[in-house]
Amino acid sequence: MIDGKKVLFSGMQATGNLTLGNYLGALKNWVTLSDEYECFYSVVDMHSITIRQDPAELRKRARALLTLYIAAGLDPKKNCLYYQSHVSGHAELSWILNCFTYMGELNRMTQFKDKSAKHGDNINAGLFTYPVLMAADILLYQADVVPVGVDQMQHLELTRDVAERFNNIYGDVFTIPEAYIGKVGAKIMSLQDPSKKMSKSDENPNGSIYLMDDTDTIMRKCKKAVTDSEGVILYRSEQPGVKNLIDIYSACTGKSAEDTVREFDGKGYGEFKMAVGEAVAAILKPLQEEFARLEKDKAYVDSIIKENAEKASYYASKTLRKVQKKVGFPARI
């Protein structure tokens, strides 16, 4: 707890371009959480280097992501927005937690198996111990809750196991985090393959709408969206492409799926796709304009980076010093 509020931690990797799915599924909802929680939102650039990155491009994307956090409405005075790599406690705690995590536990992580299959030429130790760094991210701030998708639930369970193991040995050191159960963001699927989530790593650029796509690009991608031959706009699993477009339209307009179906009853896919594209462009335009303004205000963004790194480091060091003392490291003089 900080100032009577429970602590929430989350983060995004500084790789690829954020998609409409990232925004509607996570970022948009983050904005509403700061009234209820003390929120730490990290740009997890340390996680990014488990896969080889172009250094200049990583720096550029990390800054763009942090700027997007602010542009999306995250108040840097109410939320701690920072680079993971600017808080050395992440790496320090990760090493200690490595010594309390078993090889068998890491061997069971499905994401390691998936990523190893994709990057067979670079199966590095960082990729293997990635979940331990994630545990450090969460435990460093004594997070009470963590918003996680199904693909990260296994990592949160490992975090809980390691924290409990440490507490059983040394006493009540770590808060045991829970999965955040609240308003669920829209689950947005690929426009070209509605069986898969919209992804910033999709090899088909028409499958994802990126947050910085201009209106013409958004309209073109929506027009090319996969539907079916049924020709009716209904919200059902038998029509995954149409269902996905309804989810997008509903999330952008605030209308329910039922209201959307009624609105487009008797209308064709072409007209519906146009309306979806217009709704997406409308919701992204203010974010894009604010991002462009912030990009020009280098001094302001720099000040946020510095102030928030100091805030994150302050809370991280409180946990780290306690952990270092517990495991027997000499006190710093």
Active-site hit among 28, 197, 221, 243 = 197
H or E element in which residue 157 lies: helix 153-170
Residue of 176, 168, 170, 171 whose CA lies nearest to 146? 176
Per DSSP bridges, beta strands 79-83 and 37-43 are parallel
CA-only gyration radius of the chain, Å: 21
From residue 118, give the alpha-carbon distance in Å to each of 3, 51, 111, 112, 293: 44, 10, 11, 10, 38
Active site residue 115: yes
Long-range Cβ contacts of 200-204 (<8 Å, 24+ apart): 200/15, 200/16, 200/17, 200/18, 200/19, 200/22, 201/15, 201/16
Active site residue 200: yes
Q: Which amino acid is at 93?
A: L
From residue 313, give the alpha-carbon distance in Å to each of 2, 58, 173, 305: 15, 22, 18, 12
Dist CA 258 CA 207 (whole Å): 25
Active site residue 197: yes
From residue 319, give the alpha-carbon distance in Å to each of 66, 170, 176, 257: 24, 13, 13, 45
Active-site hit among 5, 6, 187, 200 = 200
User: In the structure encoding, which two tokens stand for residue 22, read together?
Assistant: 């990232």
Catalytic residues: 115, 197, 200
